[in-house]
Amino acid sequence: MRVMGVDPGLTRCGLSVVESRSGRQIIALDVDVVRTPADEPVPRRLLAISDAIEHWLDTHHPDVIAIERVFSQQNVSTVMGTAQAGGVIAVAAARRDIDVHFHTPSEVKAAVTGNGGADKAQVTAMVTRILGLQAKPTPADAADALALAICHCWRAPMIARMAEAESKVAEQRKKFAAKVRAAT
């Protein structure tokens, strides 16, 4: 499975592509950070991110995209920019019918380090070790994008089992509702 990990942001948007092999083996294929100038209007910055994402999707053909889910931060403008960048990425994926999964920072940290409260240095060190990289990925946005992809690779089997279970429950509910309607 080829996974694109994205650490969305308006100023720096981390992008990575990894390939999941048998077991927990993961190979890093590419990593980069898209930068946009803070003095540019937001629509122009989103367009630059969109263009970069389109290029990455055309180049790497990922099976799934893992995006960091932003749920709270102190700086509202940072949250807005991050959410807008994530939205642009999700739309590009939807156009290509690529599944998108959102993972919280604590899910990513727990998957990669075993500690949901790990700091950036710990995440970067584990990403470097897991992928067998010669050097630590920099800046932190690159390491975070790789961590997101790793997290999804390792969580994907559980996500698939949960989706299958939810589907079965929904089917059972439909059957039960049909029985109740038929009995009345």
Q: What residues are labeled active site?
A: 7, 68, 141
**Start-to-end Cα distance in the chain:** 48
Which pair of tokens denotes residue 67? 């995006």
Residue 2, CA distances (Å) to 16, 57, 66, 106, 146 in order? 10, 11, 11, 23, 12
Report the C-alpha gap between 116 and 132 in whole angstroms. Answer: 22
Residue 66, helix vs strand vs coil: strand
**Distance in angstroms (rounded) separating the CA atoms of residues 118 and 129:** 15
Spatial separation of the C-alpha atoms in residues 137 and 31, rounded to whole Å: 8
